[in-house]
Every structure is written in C-alpha cells, then in structure tokens.
Amino acid sequence: MTTELLVSPDAGAGREPHSHSGNQGGWRYYRAGQQPSWADPVARDEVCAKLAGLPVLAPLDEITRLREELAKVAAGSGLVLQAGDCAESFDECTPGHALAKAQAISSLAKVITESTGRPVVGIGRIAGQFAKPRSDHAENVGGRRLPVFRGHIVNGHEHEPEARRHDPYRMLRAYDASRTVAEPLADAETRVWTSHEALILDYEAALVRFDERTGGWYLGSTHLPWVGERTRHSEGAHIRLLADVMNPVACKVSGKGDRNDLMRAIGHLDPDRDPGRLTLISRFGADAIERDLPDIARAVKNAGHPVVWLCDPMHGNTIKTATGRKTRRLEDIQREIRGFVRALREAGVEPGGLHLESAAAPVTECVGADVPDEDSLRRNYTTLCDPRLNPVQAAAVVETFVSEL
C-alpha cells in the first residue's frame, strides 16, 4: 500500500482545479496514505472520468443548510448525534435499510432533545461509509496471506484472493449504492444528514464540483466529510483537499502524533474561524481522555476556532477477545463519555455531541447491557470491520451523555 498520492490526473476531467486560494488543486501534490493499489490503473482513470460526469449525491443547498445548523451547535444552542455503521455493506444499501438506520438515529436524537431541551442535528455514517483505513496491508486467513479488507469501495470482505483485489470499478458501485441510500433519506420525514470518512481520494476528487454562484468548490459525495486519525497530517492530501471545499468538515483528534501538526491541520481546515465549518471528533480512549484532551481543547479555543466537539468513545476502546475477535466494553465507552464532558469543561468548552458506531439491528458486537459476556458475541456478530453498539447499548450510551450535561 503506497503512501504517495494515487489520484488520477483525469479525476477532474472537464473541470477547473479547485482551491479557495487559487492554488490550482495543489492538494494533489501532497502525500496521501491509505490509498488503494488499483489492479488496473487504466480502468481507474476511466472510472474517475465517469464519476466526474455524474450528479452529486449532496447538493450545495443542503450542504449549506447543514453548515448553518452546525453553526448553531457551535454557539451552544444545539447538539449533534453522528452515528451509524463502521463500514457500510453494499448488500444493505436499500431504501428499507436506509430508513431503518435513519429512524434509529432519530429515536436516539429525540431522547437527547427530551432530556436537554436542545435540538439535535442527526448525522449518519451513511450513504458513503465504504472505506476503512487499516493498520496492516495484509492478514492471515486460514493459513493464507491475503490483502486486508479496506471497505467495499476497494475490495470484498470474502476470504478469497480475487475478492481482495483492489478493483476500481467498485467506486462506481459505491456511487450507485450511496445514491440508493441518499434518495430516501432526502425525502424522509426525519431528515438525517450524510457523512463518511473522505479516504479514497480518486473517488472524492471526482465528485468535487465548482459552484458559479458562489465561486467556490464543494464536495458532492456527502454533506459532512471527515478526515481520520491516520490521514490528518497537516501536509497531507486529505487535509488539503477538505481545506479547499465549502462543506462543513470534521477531523478526528487524539493524543497521538505531533500536537503542533494537529493545530496546523486545524488551521488549514478553519482558517477564517467560521462557526459551523469545523467539527472535531475526539477518540482518546477512556484511560487517556482526561489527561490529554484538556490541553488540546484549550489550544483550539485560544486559537479562536469555534468548533463543535464530538466524543467518539468507540475507537480508543477496542480490545480483542481470547479468540481474536474485536469488541468494546460498554463500561469503557460510558467512562470515556464522562471523561469527555469533564475534560472539555475543565478547558472552558461545551460538549457538542456524540459520534458512535452503532447498528439499527440487534447485533452482539460490544459487551454490556443485553450482551452480558464475550461468549454472547457469537450470537449476531455481523460487522464488516469494527464492533458496533446495538440499539439497547446505544440508548444506554446516550443516557450516560445526557446525564453528564
């Protein structure tokens, strides 16, 4: 897996390079980790060119409305609940699944509103969450060494060499699956905004569009793109791409890495100190959050960034069972949420909400509540990558959050 930028030169065919600053798409010349090694680069170029000519999945007027809602949250008059699958499956990209997931998020948001009296912005990890950064390039399965599963936009999860090839045509399948999900969400009575990690730059770049009315660029793949822990380097292509678009954007934050580099990345993403522009998603782990978050939150505040702070209590608390299965303990998730609220208030900052990996179905992937022990995980462990909360567990997590506010 290369650490160099592999975006096709033709990904934006027929469009001007994009940049607020007139840097003519300069993000393309920065390093980009976690990119696929496409099996057929010529096919990759053809796919990118086709994507560049397709309608956007997130129109600019909707993107603008979400940014306005997030500005209200940044001002303290609302909260955010961002939730959904760790990695979406093409098989579950149906209108029925989409509405069930949206309803699960809306039900949790209603609990928060009833408990706090504040409106909640519901955002799904949905309609595009098909890519996953991974620590290793390969894994051992049944005595064979296979390329690691990187999400359905890149390869298949089946334990076969052919399925694990990095197939560029999967980007077209990801677009079609996202559209199938996004359309019913747009018409649903309880509106849920879309979000995903903007990881695969061939795909994201092909869906950047120029708006003549505003004279700016926006990312049409989703309402709220975020950059993750492994790709948030200030001089990386992911940060530079998101710095150039008008969408509200988010960035994962932890105690790892160079703190000065993190502040430079935040400066790139929010140079104008604009409320609603930047959401920071903390993922420290229950044991580290009260030690590491206060100083970072103070630095962000002192730099004048009016960000929305969300707590991701999932990723810093992943463990493996004796059999090697990933899981998370509900008690650790709840402990991190309590520490998140205390840490931010120590820094003079108000919590903005939660970022959860959760399922609408009664999965058994995390231990706690109605999944009493590790032996119970085998009942309905269906995630493609990381363990998700089931509805009972997610409700317990939300109750913990609101009890701390």
Which of 265, 236, 240, 235 is CA-nearest to residue 251? 265
User: Do 393 and 376 meet the contact criterion of CB atoms below 8 Å apart?
Assistant: no
> How far is it, in rounded angstroms, from Cα 48 to Cα 205?
8
Q: Using an 8 Å Cβ cutoff, are 325 and 315 in contact?
A: no
Q: How far apart are CA 104 and CA 112, in angstroms?
A: 13
Best CATH choice for the domain 26-404 from the list 1.10.287.130, 3.30.70.260, 3.40.50.2020, 3.20.20.70: 3.20.20.70
Q: What is the pLDDT of residue 25?
A: 64
pTM over 0.85: yes
As a whole number of angstroms, the distance between CA 355 and CA 378 comes to 25
**Residue 176 parent element (H or E):** helix 170-187
Reference 99, options 130, 66, 124, 67; nearest CA is: 124
Q: How far is CA 75 from CA 12, 117, 236, 275, 305, in A?
A: 36, 15, 30, 8, 12
What distance in Å separates the CA atoms of residue 364 and residue 349, rounded to the nearest whole number? 35
pLDDT given at position 13: 32
Residues 13-50: pLDDT tens digits? 333 333 333 343 677 889 999 999 999 999 999 999 99
Nearest C-alpha neighbor of 312 from the set 343, 346, 274, 286: 286
pLDDT tens, position by position, 328-374: 999 999 999 999 999 999 999 999 999 999 999 999 999 999 999 99
Give CA–CA dist 87/84, Å, rounded. 9
The whole-number pLDDT of residue 21 equals 35
pLDDT in tens, the chain (405 residues): 333 443 433 333 333 333 333 343 677 889 999 999 999 999 999 999 999 999 999 999 999 999 999 999 999 999 999 999 999 999 999 999 999 999 999 999 999 999 999 999 999 999 999 999 998 899 998 889 999 999 999 999 999 999 999 999 999 999 999 999 999 998 878 799 999 999 999 999 999 999 999 999 999 999 999 999 999 999 999 999 999 999 999 999 999 989 999 999 999 999 999 999 999 999 999 999 999 999 999 999 999 999 999 999 999 999 999 999 999 999 999 999 999 999 999 999 999 999 999 999 999 999 999 999 999 999 999 999 999 999 999 999 999 999 999
What local confidence, expressed as pLDDT, does residue 188 receive?
76
Task: List the chain domain ranges.
Answer: 26-404
**Whether the Cβ atoms of residue 155 and residue 174 lie closer than 8 Å to each other:** no
Given this model, what pLDDT does residue 2 score? 37
